Amino acid sequence: MTQAPTAAKTSRRRHDREIIALALPAFGALVAEPLFVMVDSAVIGHLGTPQLAGLGIAATLLMTAVSVFVFLAYATTAAVARRVGAGDLQAAIRQGMDGIWLALLLGAAVIAIVLPAAPWLVDVFGASDTAAPYAITYLRISSLGIPAMLVVLAATGVLRGLQDTKTPLYVAVGGFTANALLNVGLVYGAGFGIAGSAWGTVIAQCGMAAAYLVVVVRGARKHGASLRPDAAGIRACAQAGAPLLVRTLSLRAVLVIATAVAARLGDADVAAHQIILSLWSLLAFALDAIAIAGQAIIGRYLGAGDAKGAQEACRRMVQWGIASGVVLGVLVAVSRPLFIPLFTSDQVVRDALLTALLVVAVSQPISGIVFVLDGVLMGAGDGRYLAWAMLATLAVFTPVALLVPVLGGGLTALWWAMTLMMAVRMVTLWLRARSGRWIVTGATR
């Protein structure tokens, strides 16, 4: 009578230890990433408004270009974790090297596009005549660091697949510190202005990429894995990442549509919307940390042929996602009156935030389930389903969001539409998880 409950409790504790060990460092690394732009903004903000406006446009373009290729981390994590589970560390690191080579190729392609197209891209974003030169300068210089940024994504995926999220945390903290020091030194000390900030970011990103490569190369030599580019392996990485690229682009489209709708609601609503998006992104980091743990753990279990272990880990991580979502939701709901004044003194914006943030709070448990199941299916290499599910979600969200201003709805209505979007994602992911079709064991899917 007591043996089964004891075994179940032991299993939960084992999963909990694994989740915590991977998720906490992953959260720290995730939070460090947006701090790069924050440091740049703080340093450049003292140079003048045109410089800051130029940075805002260039940084948005730069981060969009990089975030599109986040599949380099996700697909690599799943593929490497499977081979770790299968006990073939040589193949795991070889798979990781293929991802890194793909990152270098994609980075070179992006540079070839951005350098000549920088003036046109800045103009499309509606930069003023005073801000445009600064935006072009920052974008062109910073684009030189894109290959390093993509290598960081791929190498992060390698280490996550190897069940190591501590090294990415250390590298992220070191990169943030170097970026801050370089920005101050080059902008003010050397007098390079906005160009100095861009060069500081490039140097910091290259340093991070170098640190990752040292770790990966050391592992490759230890386990006898080849460091040379393999055309077939690189092509396989690209094919595995293509569905996740579709998923990411669809999700980006949701955020762009939501911002465009908010802009049609009025200045106060779009200002409040941007504040909510910033908070929403921060909350997403906390939930995404569990998803990253899910990618690594699920991939390892499936690679080891342990379908039951994968199912148990999935179930436990969903419980973690729900619990985390409830906690975050309560914190947002209770603390709204306290942190809203930190963002704005405009009473109209504050009023819009007060109600809309309550909707965000209510949606957090849903978000917790979505992020976890997203990570589970990524870890299982189920990218094709994730792509179709996100396209279906986009198809549902778009007409609902566009109807908000037509029907006279405000920001709160828009965020109910965002909650609907997350609910649709939850249903599609839950149906897949329940079906068990994602469970494909072996070193490769």
- Angstrom distance (rounded) from CA 233 to CA 96: 10
Whole-model pTM: value is: 0.87
| 100, 151 Cβ separation under 8 angstroms | yes
Query: CA-to-CA distance for 381 and 142, rounded, in angstroms?
Result: 32
- Enter the DSSP assignment of 17: H
The Cα–Cα gap between 397 and 424 comes to: 9
HEC-encoded secondary structure of 326-393: HHHHHHHHHHHHHHHHHHCCCHHHHHHHHHHHHHHHHHHHHHHHHHHHHHHHHHCCCHHHHHHHHHHH
Among candidate residues 24, 35, 281, the one with its CA nearest the CA of residue 176: 35
Q: Which two tokens stand for residue 328?
A: 């975050």
Q: CA nearest 311: which of 442, 432, 439?
A: 439
Report residue 106 as tokens: 């994609």
Contact (Cβ atoms closer than 8 angstroms) between residue 144 and residue 114: no
The residue type of 75 is: A
Q: How far, in Å, CA of 202 to CA of 182, rounded?
A: 10
| Chain segment 251-268, per-residue pLDDT in tens | 989 988 888 888 788 877
pLDDT per position as a tens digit, 60-79: 788 878 888 989 999 999 99
Asked if pLDDT for residue 3 goes beyond 60, the answer is no
Residue 13, φ and ψ in degrees, nearest 5: -65, -40
Neighbours of 242 (CB within 10 A): 15
Q: Residue 58: is its pLDDT beyond 50?
A: yes
Q: Which comes out higher in pLDDT, residue 4 or 400?
A: 400
The stretches of 68-193 forming alpha helices (DSSP H) are: 71-85, 89-124, 132-143, 146-161, 166-184
> Interhelix angle for 411-435 vs 231-265, to 10°?
150
CA 194, CA 125: separation in Å to the nearest integer? 19
Q: What pLDDT shows up at residue 4?
A: 53
Contact yes or no for 316/179 (Cβ under 8 A): no
Whether the predicted pLDDT of 390 surpasses 80: yes
Q: Which residue has the tokens 């499309």?
A: 124
User: Residue 65: its pLDDT value, please?
Assistant: 80
Q: Per-residue pLDDT tens for 302-345? A: 999 999 999 999 999 999 999 999 999 999 999 888 878 877 67
Query: Which pLDDT does position 305 carry in this prediction?
Result: 94
Tell me the pLDDT tens digit for each residue of 282-298: 788 888 899 999 999 99
Phi, psi of 48, rounded to the nearest 5 degrees: 150, 165
Rounded to the nearest integer, the mean pLDDT of the chain is 89
Task: Give me 281's structure tokens.
Answer: 């992104």
pLDDT of residue 1: 44
Residue 357: burial class (beta carbons within 10 Å; 0-12, 13-18, 19+): buried
- For CA atoms 372, 373, 374, 380, the dihedral sign is positive
pLDDT value of position 112: 95
Does residue 160 have a pLDDT over 90? yes
Place of tokens 């309550």: 358
- The pLDDT value recorded for residue 346 is 74
